Amino acid sequence: MPQDRPILVTGAAGSVGAVGRTVVETLRRQGLPVRALVHREDERAEALRATGAEVVVADMTRAADVVPAMRGVGRVFFSMSVSPSYLEAAVTMATVARQTTGIGAFVNLSQMTVSGMTTTSTEESRQQRLHWLAEQALTWSGLPLIVVRPTVFLEHPFFTLFAAASIAERDEIRLPFGAAHTSPVAAGDVAEVVATVLAAPSSHVGKVYELTGPRSEDMNAVAAEYSEALGRRITYVDLPLKEWIEQDLRKAKLPDHLAEHIATMARMHARGRYARLTRDVETLTGRPATSVKNFVAGHAALFGGTRVGPGGPR
């Protein structure tokens, strides 16, 4: 596959975990040509240009924007933050890609929850349903599709907003996950997987990769990893879902579509839908996925910093 055709990376400005931005940076370090699609001109677009990437401003729901953005590209990475317009953007991107000569790979960043969904399932959020429908449409498109389905990110507001506040204030992870297991994945690991398949996609076309952290564990075990990383005892407090929504989620004043999605994720966590474990990160990158402990240690300030006294964590 020719290396002179640029790789189109959408969502390049970055949102939760900045997967798109990290993919751009990784591909540019490898000397690959990248066209970074952003929604608006700002300092993040300038930072992308500093990597040597070409930057285009486009609305992915508008074909008139997408056609010039995709002209001449050889591979596409489609990702978009939580949005009611997600399905419209996915179908618009697929439609334009089908009409663009020379697309050798279309990588779709989806969600692992899709693997447990059916045509008539109703437990999921509207955003998760949009991801499921987008996967159907992309499959029907006949594009050289590669699907990447990460589980919940370590950078998700569950951990970096809600839990971070309660850990900094009272050394407690206060979430409504019950006794169920979870296996959060680092956005950097997801970006490395995406960059790997984009750099040499031929052997990956038609594959679905599901990405988790290195272990599936309950929240008491997660709290133990936080304790080791921060040098102080962190405990898990299981809140009733309704109480957590009232005390934490609603106070965050998130857009309704996003708030409904996060509330649904919390409910599904407690029901065991995130108790998954794969080795796809390690298989594709050649190294183990980032652990909770290592992630927290690398972002200690977010959780109130480290504190180690005589006898170890306290």
Q: Do domains 7-152+185-211 and 157-181+214-275+287-306 have the same CATH topology?
A: no
pLDDT at 309 over 60: no
pLDDT at 307: 75
Per-residue pLDDT averaged across 285-298, rounded?
Answer: 97
149-179 pLDDT per residue, tens:
999 999 999 999 999 999 999 999 999 999 9
Kindly report the CATH number that applies to the domain delimited by 157-181+214-275+287-306.
3.90.25.10
User: Are residues 37 and 69 in contact, defined by beta-carbon separation less than 8 angstroms?
Assistant: yes
Span 7-152+185-211 CATH architecture? 3-Layer(aba) Sandwich (3.40)
Banded pLDDT at 43 (limits 50, 70, 90): confident
Say how far apart CA 41 and CA 58 lie, in whole Å. 10
- What does 219-237 look like in DSSP terms, one character per residue? HHHHHHHHHHHHTS--EEE
Banded pLDDT at 308 (limits 50, 70, 90): low
User: What is the residue extent of each domain of the chain?
Assistant: 7-152+185-211, 157-181+214-275+287-306
| 220 residue type, one letter | N
User: Are residues 115 and 210 in contact, defined by beta-carbon separation less than 8 angstroms?
Assistant: yes
pLDDT at 141 over 50: yes
Per-residue pLDDT averaged across 200-224, rounded?
Answer: 98
Q: What percent of the chain has pLDDT over 90?
A: 90
- Closest alpha carbon to 33 in 64, 74, 66, 61: 74
Q: What percent of the chain has pLDDT over 70?
A: 96
177-210 pLDDT per residue, tens:
999 999 999 999 999 999 999 999 999 999 999 9
Phi-psi region of 193 (alpha: psi -120 to 50; beta: other; left: phi over 0): alpha
pTM of the model: 0.94
Say how far apart CA 26 and CA 195 lie, in whole Å. 7
